[in-house]
Amino acid sequence: MPETMIEIEDLCQSYGRKVAVDHLTLHIPRGMFGLLGPNGAGKTTLMRTIAALMRCQQGAVTVCGASVQKPAAVRPHIGYLPQDFALYPNMTAEGALQYLGLLSGLSAACRRARIPALLEQMNLAEQAHKRVRALSGGMLRRLGIAQALLHDPEVLILDEPTAGLDPEERVRLRALLGELAEQKTVLLSTHVVGDIEASCGEVAVMDGGRLVYCGAVEALRRRAQGKVYETELSHGSLAAFRAHHPVTAVSGTGKSCTVRFLAPEEDPCIGRPCEPSVEDAYLLCVHAAGGERQ
Amino acid sequence: MARALCICRTQLTRLCLLPLLGAVGFWLLIPALFGTAMLDERAAALVLEGVFPLAGALLLTPLFAPERRPGLLDCVAARRASHLWVCGLRAAAMLGALAVLDVGLWLFMAAQGCAVSAGHLAAGFANGLALGALGALASALSSSEIAGALAALGWYTMDFFSNSCGNASLFLLSRGRGAPKLLVLAAGLLLLGSALAVFHRRMRR
Amino acid sequence: MKLFLTECRRLLHSAVYWLTLLCLVFFLASQGVLPDDKTIEEPQPGAEQSVLVPSNDPALIMPEAVSALYEGFVSNNFSTYPHGLIKHVKLTAAKQGQLAQLLAQLTGLSAEELLAAANAEGGQSGAFAVGGDDLQLNPDGSVTITGGAASAAAPDGPGSAGVPLRAGLAWEEFTGLMEQADRLLGGGSDWAVDGLSGYGRVPATYDALLEEYQASLAHDRYTGAHARLFCDYAVCMLSLLPAFTAAAFFWQDRRRIAPVLYTRRVSGAALICARFLALVALQFLPVLLLGGWLTVHYAAVYGAAAISWTAFFTTSVFWLLPTLLLVTALSLLVTVATGTPAAVALQALWWFSELMGGTGGLSDGSTYGSLLAPRHNSLGQYLVFQQQLPRLAGGRLLAAVLAVLLTAAAVAVFERKRKGGFSWHGRFASAARS
């Protein structure tokens, strides 16, 4: 089994005149890998391409050595959780997994063994006979992960798996994904930096279809060293301040607030430098990429 | 083979249950509403060729409806089994149901003394396939089952009122023309294949 | 107004809307009414022989009706329309015996004779005939047969292939026996009392045709007649197609979108009415445009001064608009209530019964009493139209009133769903959770 599980070489994807992925080259190793970017960055397009749900218009993508131009060769290796995941509303949770297991080529005996274990692992054992439409958002997400794991794939492709979950659910899901990443490659796409910070060692940042950073999460954070500042401002002057400095956080109540902002080019001469977070570094990355585009 | 049968069973009992029930309900209504006792050839053709095929439209037009939601379609399409193959199995299951209903009605009418022949049996199936396949193609092109139903009913109505389709007419037997329904059957198979191809292509754009 | 215009703009982006429009135009063109290739001309002497009109004369109706009933009895094959759909009826031996008894009372022959004649090959040997001279119209309106039952079979004319009428058969007794025959056949037959006018048709006289032509000229002014025929065909499609457009339009508000809609400030009445009016307006506008084009065409054919410039518009509003309102309102209600496109299936079934239905009215195929699709399947016939106008107007008014009531019901359902009630999915979900 190759160490690099997913190889993407000079991939270009577009919808008509809109370029969704622009000459992207990326090598995703085993373990948990984060894909970060704002909405419209091209993350979902990239994930659907890797999952062989979209034709490669230009470039090459291989998953576990199999080219996505041959979807039949790729599908046994991947488990995919789409962004707007849905299942047949009238089926029960167990019934839906049975059907999807059948479509994944699992034998009846295998399904009989795996499905109860998966439901147990996802804490859905009690909901096994509930209809899909009756499940809560968190339960549905966990069921989505269960269906992605059904055929024990080497690669899990999860498109915004924590979207719509409450903080407790999110923490639980991150822990679960962390356990899975010990044995598999988990490609996790999100625009919530906290998910990346909590679970991933490596991350790629996309913006406008391009790769603007690829490497360790810690290295990303260090790139923002010396470029993040904090200052106190009155609420009235906040709007004018935003016009000149990219603001990453505002906190505090009352007449004044604490503003955290980026100074990528030079010393802003106001405020005090502070230790950057991954979110600061991500925003710095995206801000720089946006400046380049302009 | 076993897997294919299992998938077909799920299609019929879960995913396509509503259209199947609708077709069966319609099939049960036919003898009650139209009278199927001791009909001559043309009158029997009106039932088997003119009325029954609407069951085909009911069965095949919503062929792609179960996976209309993008998230659900992606989830199913990412499985090892090709979604095109699954849709093909679904179509086969629906055609199987159509054939069973056709044979059932034909046998019932024969038992009631109608002058039915093999031609009537074939006509019912061919028309049902053709109408349903057109509905499926229209629904694949427009992503709307309503547009599919409109296309199927539109063809039916145009042919009913205008009698200008020659040997491709849906109503050959009931108009007293004994030409075989090969053209209609061929058109139906072509339309069904096209529907599957269009849906698959749009899915894998 | 703004909401109405917004909904109109949304509807213009609907593929189903344009498809239905295409179907309508294509259908009208295929039926030869865009424009009509026939023109209205003054009748010439000799033309009356080709036109048959109802005589309403018992002396003519009775022998023809009995003759037709006998023919059906011999072949044991009847076409009836009990539910509006054509049904072929074959009687069992017991019911054939009962029909034989009825025919015996109508003809004066014995039931055994009639059954024997029916069982004989083709029933030819049982043919009897009665000539018109044997019938005498009494002062009280009844008809008496003065001749004997047996006479030589005449090859042509009414009743020539059938059986004699019983001497002294009165009209009231005749209609009572016909009604029994109709019940025996399951109802909806040509021997129902209101279907008997299809018998006893006689060739029109030249004077009658001329009177018809002059009345048509004076009142229809050519375009009125063409407008009626146009509406006759257009209503076939307008009684079905709007269901597709309305169902597709409202079905967009499925479960995911509905909560977003429900939380808006707009009232259910305003939203539903705006959409309803948008659907009606955009589907009626093409009809008016076609009417305008046809008016200009017929102005060129007959002369601008000879035609009525408003006939197409007024006839379309009177004839087609209530159908459009009714179909749209019904589809709207079913789609809002169920959240499914079941309205299409429901409307298709209703439309199919109209399509396959019997005349239920005049023998030229016109059906003025229909709630959904009244028909006037001939060019001209102004006097007949005038005669049936009250029936037609009543039906159109009822259709329009029903449309309003159905729309009001749709508003009520929408508001109820908005408040969390009347949700089938919700009920299943809560039952599953408990």
Q: Do C433 and A133 touch (CB under 8 A)?
A: no
Instruction: Give the integer Cα–Cα distance in Å for B76 and B200.
Output: 13
**Predicted pLDDT at C362:** 47
**Predicted pLDDT at A129:** 94
Q: Looking at the complex, does the CB of residue A134 fall below 8 Å from at least one CB of chain C? A: yes
Instruction: Give the integer Cα–Cα distance in Å for A147 and A115.
Output: 9
The pLDDT of residue B205 is above 90: no
Q: Looking at the complex, does the CB of residue C241 fall below 8 Å from at least one CB of chain B? A: yes
The token pair that represents A223 in the structure block: 């790139």
Final residue of a structural domain among A218, A240, A266: A218
From chain C, the residues in CB contact with A134 under 8 A are 428-429, 432-433
The whole-number average pLDDT for the span A149-159 is: 92
DSSP 3-state assignment of A74? helix
Which residue among B147, B153, B158 places its CB closest to the CB of C16? B147
**Predicted pLDDT at A114:** 94
Encode pLDDT of C26-36 as tens digits. Answer: 888 888 888 87
Q: Specify which of A188-192, A206-210, C168-172, C259-263 reaches the highest per-range mean pLDDT.
A: A206-210
DSSP strand pairing (A202-207 vs A31-36): parallel
The pLDDT of residue A238 is above 90: no
**Predicted pLDDT at A2:** 46
The pLDDT of residue C322 is above 90: yes
The whole-number average pLDDT for the span A78-85 is: 89
**Predicted pLDDT at C244:** 94
Residues in chain A: 294
The whole-number average pLDDT for the span C139-153 is: 45
Instruction: Give the integer Cα–Cα distance in Å for B26 and B7.
Output: 25
The pLDDT of residue C152 is above 80: no
**Predicted pLDDT at A7:** 94
Place of tokens 């991947």: A78
Q: Looking at the complex, does the CB of residue A91 fall below 8 Å from at least one CB of chain C? A: no
The whole-number average pLDDT for the span A136-163 is: 90
Q: Looking at the complex, does the CB of residue B72 fall below 8 Å from at least one CB of chain A? A: yes
Place of tokens 């075989």: B180
From chain C, the residues in CB contact with A131 under 8 A are 428-429, 432
Residues A80 and A179 in one domain: yes
**Predicted pLDDT at C30:** 82
The whole-number average pLDDT for the span B82-104 is: 94
Lowest pLDDT segment from A278-287, B101-110, C262-271: C262-271
The pLDDT of residue A293 is above 60: no
Q: Mutate which of B141, B146, B160, B171 to disrupt the C interface (most C C-beta within 10 Å)?
A: B146
Q: Specify which of A231-245, A264-278, C269-283 reaches the highest per-range mean pLDDT.
A: C269-283
**Predicted pLDDT at C135:** 47
DSSP strand pairing (C78-80 vs C87-89): antiparallel
- Counting as contact any 3 or more CB pairs under 8 A, the partners of C are A, B
DSSP strand pairing (C201-203 vs C52-54): antiparallel
pLDDT > 70: what percent of chain C?
A: 79
Instruction: Give the integer Cα–Cα distance in Å for A241 and A262.
Output: 12
From chain B, the residues in CB contact with C236 under 8 A are 161
Residue type, B69: R
Handedness of CA A180, A186, A190, A196 (dihedral sign): positive
Q: What does DSSP assign to residue C195?
A: G
Residues A230 and A212 in one domain: no
The pLDDT of residue B150 is above 50: yes
**Predicted pLDDT at B183:** 85
DSSP 3-state assignment of A27? strand
| Residue in chain C lying closest to B158 (CA) | C27
What confidence tier does C153 reach under pLDDT thresholds 50, 70, 90? very low
Encode pLDDT of C93-120 as tens digits. Answer: 888 899 999 999 999 888 888 888 777 7
- Counting as contact any 3 or more CB pairs under 8 A, the partners of B are A, C
Q: Mutate which of A88, A140, A152 to disrupt the B interface (most B C-beta within 10 Å)?
A: A88
Q: Is C76 within 8 Å of C173 (Cβ atoms)?
A: no
Kindly report each contact of residues B172-178 with a partner whose C-beta sits within 8 Å and lies 24 or more positions away, as own/partner.
B172/B49, B172/B123, B173/B41, B173/B42, B173/B45, B173/B48, B173/B49, B173/B119, B173/B120, B173/B123, B174/B42, B174/B45, B174/B46, B174/B49, B174/B50, B176/B42, B178/B119
Q: Do A131 and C425 touch (CB under 8 A)?
A: no
pLDDT > 70: what percent of chain B?
A: 97
- Spatial CA neighbour of B105 closest among B33, B155, B183: B33
Q: Specify which of B61-70, C40-49, C160-169 reaches the highest per-range mean pLDDT.
A: B61-70
Q: Do B74 and A78 touch (CB under 8 A)?
A: no
What's the domain count of chain A? 2
Q: What is the mean pLDDT of chain B?
A: 88
Q: A166: domain range? A: 4-218
| Residue in chain C lying closest to A132 (CA) | C429
**Predicted pLDDT at C398:** 94
What confidence tier does C206 reach under pLDDT thresholds 50, 70, 90? confident
Chains A, C: CB contacts under 8 A, how many? 13
Q: What is the mean pLDDT of chain A?
A: 88
From chain B, the residues in CB contact with A151 under 8 A are 80
What confidence tier does C158 reach under pLDDT thresholds 50, 70, 90? very low
Which residue among C26, C27, C89 places its CB closest to the CB of B35? C89
CB atoms closer than 10 angstroms to residue A231 = 16
Instruction: Give the integer Cα–Cα distance in Å for C394 and C400.
Output: 10
The pLDDT of residue B106 is above 80: yes
How near does any CA of chain C get to the CA of B112, in Å? 10
**Predicted pLDDT at C125:** 35
- Counting as contact any 3 or more CB pairs under 8 A, the partners of A are B, C
Q: Do B150 and C244 touch (CB under 8 A)?
A: yes
Q: Looking at the complex, does the CB of residue B1 fall below 8 Å from at least one CB of chain A? A: no
Q: Is A205 within 8 Å of A282 (Cβ atoms)?
A: yes
Which residue among B33, B145, B150 places its CB closest to the CB of C83? B33
Residues A26 and A172 in one domain: yes
Residues A266 and A148 in one domain: no
Q: Is B204 within 8 Å of B148 (Cβ atoms)?
A: no
Final residue of a structural domain among A160, A185, A218: A218
Residues A12 and A90 in one domain: yes
The token pair that represents C54 in the structure block: 């109802």
Encode pLDDT of A186-202 as tens digits. Answer: 999 988 888 888 888 89
The token pair that represents C277 in the structure block: 């009016």
The whole-number average pLDDT for the span B26-46 is: 84
The whole-number average pLDDT for the span C51-65 is: 80
Which residue among A82, A88, A99 places its CB closest to the CB of B74? A82
**Predicted pLDDT at C296:** 94
Sequence-distant (6+) residues with CB within 8 A of A239 are none
Residues A208 and A230 in one domain: no
Q: Looking at the complex, does the CB of residue A23 fall below 8 Å from at least one CB of chain C? A: no
The whole-number average pLDDT for the span B67-78 is: 85
Exposure on the CB side of residue A270, measured as CA atoms within 13 A: 11
Q: Do B158 and C355 touch (CB under 8 A)?
A: no
What confidence tier does C329 reach under pLDDT thresholds 50, 70, 90? very high
Q: Looking at the complex, does the CB of residue B84 fall below 8 Å from at least one CB of chain A? A: no
Q: What does DSSP assign to residue A20?
A: E
How near does any CA of chain B get to the CA of A111, in Å? 13
Q: Provide residues of C within 8 Å CB-CB of chain A.
A: 425, 428-429, 432-433
What confidence tier does A13 reach under pLDDT thresholds 50, 70, 90? very high
Instruction: Give the integer Cα–Cα distance in Å for A187 and B67.
Output: 25
DSSP 3-state assignment of A189? strand
Q: Is C3 within 8 Å of C271 (Cβ atoms)?
A: yes
The whole-number average pLDDT for the span A9-34 is: 93
**Predicted pLDDT at C148:** 43
Going from the C-alpha of C188 to that of each of A166, C181, C199, C350, the distances in angstroms are 65, 11, 16, 17
The whole-number average pLDDT for the span A217-233 is: 90
**Predicted pLDDT at C132:** 44
Instruction: Give the integer Cα–Cα distance in Å for B125 and B98.
Output: 7
What confidence tier does C254 reach under pLDDT thresholds 50, 70, 90? low
From chain B, the residues in CB contact with C355 under 8 A are 160
The token pair that represents C250 in the structure block: 């409202």
Overall pTM surpassing 0.80 (yes/no): no
Q: Do C76 and B38 touch (CB under 8 A)?
A: yes
**Predicted pLDDT at C129:** 39
Q: What is the mean pLDDT of chain C?
A: 79
Instruction: Give the integer Cα–Cα distance in Å for B157 and C236.
Output: 10
Residue type, C53: V
Q: Do C433 and A134 touch (CB under 8 A)?
A: yes
The whole-number average pLDDT for the span C281-296 is: 95
**Predicted pLDDT at A174:** 87
The larger pLDDT score, comparing residue C291 to residue B160, is at: C291
Q: Do A75 and B79 touch (CB under 8 A)?
A: yes
Residues A28 and A168 in one domain: yes
Which residue among B6, B14, B205 places its CB closest to the CB of A88? B14
The pLDDT of residue C140 is above 60: no
Q: Specify which of A286-290, C209-213, C276-280, C422-426 reaches the highest per-range mean pLDDT.
A: C276-280
Residues A273 and A154 in one domain: no
Which residue among A53, A84, A105 places its CB closest to the CB of B78? A53
Which residue among C86, C90, C241 places its CB closest to the CB of B34? C86
Judge if ipTM > 0.85: no
The token pair that represents B153 in the structure block: 């009913």
CB atoms closer than 10 angstroms to residue C138 = 11
- Spatial CA neighbour of C165 closest among C130, C209, C197, C202: C130
Instruction: Give the integer Cα–Cα distance in Å for A124 and A111.
Output: 16
Encode pLDDT of C338-382 as tens digits. Answer: 888 889 988 988 887 776 664 444 445 567 778 898 888 778 878
Q: Do B158 and C27 touch (CB under 8 A)?
A: yes
The whole-number average pLDDT for the span C65-92 is: 82
pLDDT > 70: what percent of chain A?
A: 98
Final residue of a structural domain among A180, A201, A218: A218
From chain C, the residues in CB contact with A130 under 8 A are 432-433
Strand order across the beta sheet in which A228-234 lies: A247-251, A256-262, A228-234, A272-273
